[in-house]
Chain A
Amino acid sequence: MSNTPVIRDEELHAYVDGRLKPQRHEEVKAYLAAHPDAAEKVRAYQQQNRMLHTLFDRVLHEPLPGRLENTPPAPQSRRLFRAAAVIALSLLTGGMGGFLLRGEVTHTVTVAEPFTGRAAVAHAVYTAEILHPVEVGAEQETHLVQWLSKRLGHQLRTPDFTSFGYQLVGGRLLPGDKGAAAQFMYQTSTGARLTLYVSVKDRGMEQTAFRVQEENGQQVLYWVDDNLGFALVGDKGRNQMLEMARVTYEAMSF
């Protein structure tokens, strides 16, 4: 019960895994605030856990292969029902032509668009990068935008998120499904990061209004226009993400 608790290395891991008692959790949290090195480690390990979930959680929602299917339909049908409900809801909200997503479509039992999965993985990977979060930094913004526009074959623009507290960090080129994809990264003064993923539209991508998907606590707000698919990934609340999506939409369409 001292004011300067000694934190053992394994407690940092227990912190990452949410295995500490509440009081100890708070003590470690305070310790991390004062020890950037330890905080950096913890962030990296938390990121590992998130990456694993981003990569493998989709397995949970896959239909089982036939040979494992000897199972009674109970859990399966519940899942299907939920999937059907999600599809029905998104059809509804899409069909209304509304810009706003009104339904509670946060369950992602359906993999809406493969490109949102790629956006989420790219987010997890590069927001964790300390040294090289971006290929081209914001100080060369004009060059960055020209370069990525050229590679994607469409004029891109960097939305201005300063009113939300986010500054452009820079961007990078990534492989998309068919062609190239671009990732822009933004950051607040406290280091919270948000990414905008832009992918060339391919045949599999249907034009949509704004949709929300949640992947491990990250909100993925995505939409597909005539030529490009966009996905904003961050951990802000849905309303703010929606506002930012709107700013992006306006920036990209002049």
Chain B
Amino acid sequence: MNYHTLAEHIPSLRRYAIALLHDRSRADDLVQDTLERAMKKFSLFVKDSDLRAWLFTIMHNIFINQLSRRREIADTDGQTAQHPSAQNVAEEMIVARDIMNALQQLTDEQRSIILLIGLEQLSYDEAARVLKLPVGTVMSRLARARERLHALLNDEAGPQLRRVK
């Protein structure tokens, strides 16, 4: 593997990271970290296995590690880690912002599952490998995540959307 093969996957890694983090500069940090680690660890990559799923696995691991580090910092600071605003992602559109908000209200895991499967179109097996969960668990959590997102968009976000006058 070289940067050529990796490079093909950068746009979709970025898409996932931006949707996951709701913050472009942190998303690009995450992509960069992922690429660097992938280059370093390439000897561990088993040829003929799925490069894309492997890259998502690396990204997910970095994301999880950062989360726990951020939580520690938040604990000592006595404040929760905030997602900085990301106007340039959400554009100025209120509707888009409401979907973003609904996504951000999911747990990190729910968001990962919905995005990996619904947006990045990973198979359930691939998603299970990325998230290190049994396939059955991925599927039941996917179901719960989608129900929750649906509820957020219709019950909670609904009145907000309709307030747009």
Residues of A within 8 A of B (CB): 9-10, 13-14, 17, 19, 41, 44-45, 48-49, 51-53, 55-57, 59-62, 64-65, 67-68, 70-72, 74-75, 114, 117-118, 121-122, 125, 128-132, 135, 172-175, 177
For B91, what are the chain A residues with a Cβ–Cβ distance below 8 Å?
A: 114, 117-118
Residues of B within 8 A of A (CB): 3-4, 6-8, 10-12, 14-15, 18-19, 28, 31-32, 35, 91-96, 98-100, 114-115, 117-119, 121, 123-124, 139-140, 142-143, 146, 149-150, 153-154, 158, 161-162, 164-165
Complex Cα distance, B135 from A19, in Å, reads 13
Taking A68-B10, A125-B95, A129-B154 as known contacts, 6 extra A-B pairs with beta carbons closer than 8 A to each other, sorted by chain A number, are: A48-B118, A59-B15, A71-B4, A74-B7, A130-B154, A173-B164
Complex Cα distance, B15 from A96, in Å, reads 37
Q: Which residue of A lies closest to B125 (CB)?
A: A19
For B142, what are the chain A residues with a Cβ–Cβ distance below 8 Å?
A: 10, 13
Interface class of chain A by DSSP: helix
**Inter-subunit contact A174/B95 (CB<8 Å):** yes
**Inter-subunit contact A45/B28 (CB<8 Å):** no
In the complex with contacts A56-B18, A75-B8, A48-B124 CB distance below 8 A? no
A227, chain B: closest CB distance, angstroms:
21
Q: Which residue of B lies closest to A67 (CB)?
A: B32
Task: Pick the contact of A68: B35, B123, B149, B158 (CB < 8 A).
Answer: B35
Q: Which residue of A lies closest to B16 (CB)?
A: A56
Complex Cα distance, B92 from A175, in Å, reads 9
Interface centre among B94, B119, B124 (most CB of A within 10 A): B119
Task: Pick the contact of A10: B99, B118, B140, B153 (CB < 8 A).
Answer: B140
